[in-house]
Structure 1
Amino acid sequence: MAPFAPVLIAAAHGSREARAQKETDRLLTEIRALRPGLRVESAFFDIHGPTVDEAVAALRGAPAIVVPLLLGAGFHFTEDLPALLGPARAAKPLAPHPLLTEALTYRLEEAEARTGYPADAVVLAAAGSRRPGGNDGCYAVARHLSAALNVRRRGPVPVRPTLLCAGREEGRSLARTVRDLRAEGRTRIAVVPYLMAPGRFSDHLAAEAERAGCVCTAHPLGAQVAMVRLVLARFDACARLATVGDPADV
């Protein structure tokens, strides 16, 4: 660990949905409970305040590490964050990471337990990014989740990413992805939202999954234990660096 006690600034996307704000608050509460000696502050890229630069300025020079509560290297990470950091350091986005795979597996199995239908295929449904390389993390996570499920279930469980707001070449509807999986002989298809918190996207996914005849739709990642540990893992990895580095190296 670095020879100082930096403040963790958890930087969320921001949402007009009260449900999303509440879930972010819960995540920060769980982080504080797991690491009671750590000062944890919040910041937002959009909609809410304080912004990242305001949260950093409020520390009046105290060392800080910004952990972006983002699942990919989209616009907020590649463009907004570097301009807002000031003297603070930035950790990597949350994906990919084994703890994220664990969190998605938990949400899938939680949904399967509610409905009683084990899935034989999964659609990993993300909002997506139009930035070049912004969806690479989602693709990697889909591969990791499929590999983890193959081991747990002793057989192949394909995981197909669906990017709802990506560019023309990458974007595809959930219904089309479900049709493709059915054409491969998959009959029990689950939808796992690749989202941090509930809101407009998760509602849209649940409705579309029901229309497509999917057996279950999981909850967004939210404030579960694996996500708490993941945020702290990103913070700790950045704190171990002796000097400021590229976020991609943290």
Structure 2
Amino acid sequence: MHRPVLLVIAHGSRDPRHAATVHALTRRVRALRPGLRVETAYLDFNAPTVPQVLSSLHYSGVREVIALPLLLTRAFHAKSDIPAVLAESAARLPGLSVRVTEVLGPSPLLLSALERRLAEAGLDLSYSARSTTGVVLASAGSTDPEAIAVIAEIAREWRHTGWCAVRPAFASAALPRVEDAVRALHAEGVRQVAVAPYVIAPGRLPDRIAAGAEAAGADLLAPVLGPAPELARLLLRRYDETRTAGTATVRSGPRAAALTA
């Protein structure tokens, strides 16, 4: 049976750990779904770019692509950058159908991945330990109010799984900063404070999260989500949702391309 190509679109970074992590994640996706063609492209800093990959696919005979933004929230890149680059490419490649998935978050699979990383860092996830542990849900940050609200809602939902407290914090663009959230939990008498980075790959902002956690005396810092198996399954879930129902289609042709819901 014909299956559209999965194109994972990552932001890109000057930090080589970023691309290495993205490729480790896509390798895990391929292992979970043998036979599915998975390609990777970047918006900035890394190669190949989105137009380069789409052109290569088109001229090799591919006619259907499902593009997946490797993003945890719907902010500027999901609302503007990715639709624009896909539409521009589709306008130049008649006959190529590109559908776009929803962003990855929120999802229970992401909470499972966060808890996996906390456990790997040495945190006891038993209910008794949760009741005395506060968690800082540390996001990269955004100027988009919708994205900030989503992070706050994830923190509220996660709190209901038994943690003493879960506080959202941000590395940039929004408040509170990670160090301020850690200090606030300590000031409230929380026995143990852990920082869980809600980011996919290493880079400048995750490093800022780590620095804030250290500066404020957090008891534990989890690694980034990286190629967590839950994250790989989530990529395939978004692919399958879009393949069966469709989310947004970039229509190509002689006229300017348009995104339609």
TM-score higher than 0.5? yes
Identical-residue share of aligned pairs (%): 40
Instruction: State the partner residue of 1:76.
Output: 77
Note the 1:31-110 alignment, pairs <5 A.
31-60=29-58, 61-85=62-86, 86=90, 87-110=97-120
Instruction: State the partner residue of 2:169.
Output: 162
Aligned 8 A contact 1:105 1:145 in 2: no
Instruction: State the partner residue of 1:202.
Output: 206
Q: 1:127 aligns with which of 129, 136, 140?
A: 140
Instruction: State the partner residue of 1:153.
Output: none
The Cα shift of 1:242 comes to 5.7
Q: Tell me, yes or no, if structure 1 residue 191 matches structure 2 residue 198.
A: no
Instruction: State the partner residue of 2:233.
Output: 229
Aligned 8 A contact 2:172 2:205 in 1: no
- 2:246 and 2:219 map into 1 onto residues whose CA distance is 49
**Aligned residue type for 1:171:** L
- 1:139 and 1:57 map into 2 onto residues whose CA distance is 39
- 2:7 and 2:82 map into 1 onto residues whose CA distance is 12
- 1:32 and 1:124 map into 2 onto residues whose CA distance is 29
Bigger radius of gyration among the two: 2
The Cα shift of 1:245 comes to 6.0
- 1:243 and 1:160 map into 2 onto residues whose CA distance is 32
Aligned 8 A contact 1:19 1:199 in 2: yes
The Cα shift of 1:205 comes to 2.1
- 1:242 and 1:212 map into 2 onto residues whose CA distance is 45
* Partner SS state of residue 101, structure 1: helix
The Cα shift of 1:136 comes to 3.0
CA RMSD of aligned residues (A): 2.3
Q: 2:8 aligns with which of 7, 10, 29?
A: 10
Q: Where do 5+ consecutive residues of structure 2 fail to align?
A: 91-96, 251-259
Q: Where do 5+ consecutive residues of structure 1 fail to align?
A: 151-155
The Cα shift of 1:45 comes to 1.3
- 2:115 and 2:138 map into 1 onto residues whose CA distance is 14
Aligned 8 A contact 1:73 1:135 in 2: no
* Partner SS state of residue 128, structure 1: coil
- Tell me the number of residue pairs that the alignment of Structure 1 and Structure 2 aligns: 234
Q: TM-score, normalised by structure 1?
A: 0.86
The Cα shift of 1:51 comes to 2.3
- 2:121 and 2:139 map into 1 onto residues whose CA distance is 17
- 1:143 and 1:55 map into 2 onto residues whose CA distance is 39
